Structure 1
Amino acid sequence: MSVLQRVVKPTTRKGKKVLIRREPQIIEGPKRALFFRGRKCTEKVRQLLKDFYNLKKPDAITLSKKNDITIFENVTPVETFCKKYETALFMMGSHSKKRPDNLVVGRMFNYSLLDMFELYLENFESLKDFDSSKVLLGVKPCLIFNGPKWEETEELKQLKSLFIDFFHREEVSSIRLQGLEHALSFTVTDDEKILLRSYKIHMKKSGCRTPRVELEEIGPRVDFTLRRSKLPSEDLMKEACKKPKELKVTKKKNISKDGLGTTHGRIHIGKQQIDKLQTRKMKGLKKSSEERKKEKVAVKRTLSESNVNNVKRIKSL
């Protein structure tokens, strides 16, 4: 049974601009995130939501009221919130006797749930617990995923993709060395714990062109344990990762790239006639009048011989 969706037509110019902005774009900007609390929430989880909100700003919205939502049983209220505030990502903090210090992170596709993960917050130190200078607002972080375990299971692969989407900002073609100020490190241990560490990058003098890099931990410091997850189907993930035709790279003939990214081109040219190449004109290389007369006589002789041969062929036919 198919449900017909109501097509909203704009009545004003401002409404038309709003609908155009909500349409899929060829080059998407940074995804916005929605932060909210569940029915109950401890101070530790509340402070973690605040720290993630500060890291995600200005592409973040936080709700102050508590919400009676059990997201794994009914995701409709969260989808309504994301559609209302036009956010593709969400993070919800909750606390219960069965699931204490709980954090749910997820993302939407076309304002419908794509995937989400439930994490248990074990150890936590806030941004304010570190007595150090913080990074500026809107700085693009450098994401580091340590260890091969991120590629071993489908859950960790999807969680890695979610973290990349969550902290991703604008697309850049080149990176300035002085622009690297913030680093986020994600590590999976042997006992399946996920360690999140945040560092500020300092460039020190090293006596050569490449500076000496020092890392200063600025918080938050979080230890997670994966509880539950809801993974997308293959068809839905394929549709969500589909690229528009304008962004697909068309293969060009005779152009290739090596392993280091250097572009190589192959050029096809015809046979060169060295006798007819234009060289520098000099008096010493200029032909005399006798040489020019000999060339004219030779050209006339070849023309007459060709005419005679043509006449013979015609007679033979």
Structure 2
Amino acid sequence: MLRVKTPRNARVKRELEKRAPKLVENGKKTLILHGTKTSAVLNSVLKELYHLKKGSAVKFSRKNENIKPFESGGETSLEFFSLKTDCSVFVYGSHSKKRPDNLVIGRTYDHHIYDLVEVGVENFRPMESFTYDKKLAPLIGSKPLIAFIGEGFENVEELKHLKEVLIDLLRGEVVENLNLVGLDRVYVCTAISSNRVFLSHCGLRLKKSGTKVPRMELVEMGPSMDLVVRRHRLPNDGLRKEAMKTVRDQPKKKMKNVSQDAVQGKIGKIYMPDQKVGDVALPYKAKGLKRERREAKLKNDDSKHASKKQKENST
């Protein structure tokens, strides 16, 4: 079991709040790991995945013997690394005689394993094997476009699950609006059969079409590979319900004495109490009052002088 941390100061509390599950998700970081044994093809796949997700990925170069995602107790180290690196998507590569060039792609919720998809890599072609104009190379950190082609992504359960995982793996930062000029790359996923998907990475070239919408051309720049689905594990119902929580839209409170008009817009009624003018305090002193006080002051001064003269005469 992972130790639950309690914040000791405000800085640690803010950091833990950033890593906590959110209703509106931000961009997901990817953790890339090596198994006990890997092949040259698998090393190249993991390397190029890290290059494509540079800036939002963490790659471990050491071999990990204790990680076995599909076995009970084999995900403890994986959850620990996910917590330390704050990554909610992981890619684990391993190679064996039974499952050669094996990739396990999974997601975590609150740094616990959510779901898993195991695929085999076949017909891999790295970026170096493609020739294209280097000016068309996509920028690091740019928002990609993901296209899924084939009915299998809607009908076959394994491919539907793989589609969800690939979207979280490849989509990058979540944005509401996107400039068309900023699109420079496309991931094309084609369902060849019920358990095989062809994945390719293409550059996007915009050309004139005579209309406002430009004509788009795809230039394949790699990597490309076939993903053969081997095993997959869906999340349990309790964890799914917890991860799918949303905030209900609260109904707006009715405002009293406020109405809408098509011409004047928002109209409000204000009720004023009866004003008692005699009890209202004046903001300034009237000149007439000042004159009366001045005259009274002069009379008091004259009476004081007269009393002093009488005292002097009496002495």
What range is the shorter-chain TM-score in? 0.7 to 0.9
1:1-317 matched pairs, under 5 angstroms = 8-68=5-65, 69-73=67-71, 74-132=74-132, 133=134, 134-190=137-193, 192-243=195-246, 245=247, 248-249=248-249
Q: Which range is displaced more, 115-124 or 230-239?
A: 230-239
Tell me how far 1:129 sits from its aligned partner.
1.8
What amino acid maps onto 1:65 in structure 2? R
Asked whether the 8 Å contact 1:33–1:61 carries over to 2, the reply is yes
TM-score normalized by structure 2?
Answer: 0.73
Report % sequence identity: 38
CA deviation vs aligned residue, 1:195-231 (integer Å, no higher than 9, x gap): 0011111011233332221110011111011111111
**RMSD over aligned Cα atoms:** 2.3
Aligned residues: 250
Give the distance between the partners of 1:6 and 1:94, measured in 2 at CA. Answer: 28
Q: From the superposition, tell whether residues 251 and 212 of structure 1 become closer, same or farther in structure 2 (CA, over 3 Å).
A: farther
Please list the CA deviations of residues 110-166 of structure 1 after superposition, one character each: whole Å capped at 9, or x if unmatched. 111111111111110012222233211111110111111111132222211111111
**Which protein is bigger by CA-based radius of gyration?**
2
Equivalent residue, structure 2, for 1:308: none
Q: CA deviation at 1:62?
A: 0.2
Q: What amino acid is aligned across from residue 92 of structure 1 in structure 2?
A: Y
2:54 maps to amino acid:
K
Q: Name the SS for the 1:20 alignment partner.
A: helix
For residues 24-59 of structure 1, give each alpha carbon's deviation from its aligned partner in whole angstroms, at most 9, with x where no partner exists.
334321011100110110111111011111112211
Name 2:279's counterpart in structure 1: none
Instruction: From the superposition, tell whether residues 24 and 124 of structure 1 become closer, same or farther in structure 2 (CA, over 3 Å).
Output: same
Code of the aligned partner of 1:70: K
Q: Report the CA distance shift for 1:18/1:45 in structure 2 as closer, same or farther (over 3 A).
A: same
Q: 1:185 Cα shift?
A: 0.8
Distance 2:150 2:21 in 1: 35
Amino acid at match of 2:35: G
**Cα 1:81–1:204, aligned 2, differ >3 Å: closer, same or farther?**
same
Q: Is the 8 A contact 1:155 1:231 kept in 2?
A: no
Contact 1:31–1:89 (CA under 8 A) maintained in structure 2: yes
Residues 156 and 194 in structure 2, CA contact (< 8 A), matched pair in contact too: no
8 Å Cα contact 1:40-1:94 kept in structure 2: yes
The whole-number CA distance in structure 2 between the counterparts of 1:93 and 1:194 is: 18
For 1:169 and 1:103, how far apart are their aligned partners in 2?
20
Structure-2 separation of matches of 1:8 and 1:45: 36
Shifted more, 94-103 versus 184-193: the winner is 184-193
* Distance change (3 Å), C-alpha of 1:15 and 1:100: same
23-32 or 102-111: which moved more?
A: 23-32
Contact 1:37 1:93 in 2 (8 A): yes
The code of the aligned residue for 1:174 comes to N
Q: What secondary structure, in the 3-state scheme, does the structure 2 residue paired with 1:40 have?
A: coil
Code of the residue aligned with 2:176 in structure 1: it is S
The one-character-per-residue Cα deviations of 1:168-192 (angstroms, maximum 9, x if unpaired) are 2333222211111111011111363
Whole-Å separation in 1 of the counterparts to 2:242 and 2:33: 28
- TM-score scaled by length of structure 1: 0.73
Is the 1:29–1:169 contact (alpha carbons within 8 Å) kept by the matching residues of 2? no
| Alignment-mate amino acid for residue 41 of structure 1 | T
Supply the distance in 2 between the matched residues of 1:35 and 1:78 (Cα, whole angstroms).
11
Deviates more, 1:183-192 or 1:210-219: 183-192
Q: Please, which runs of 5 or more residues in structure 2 have no aligned partner? A: 254-259, 263-315
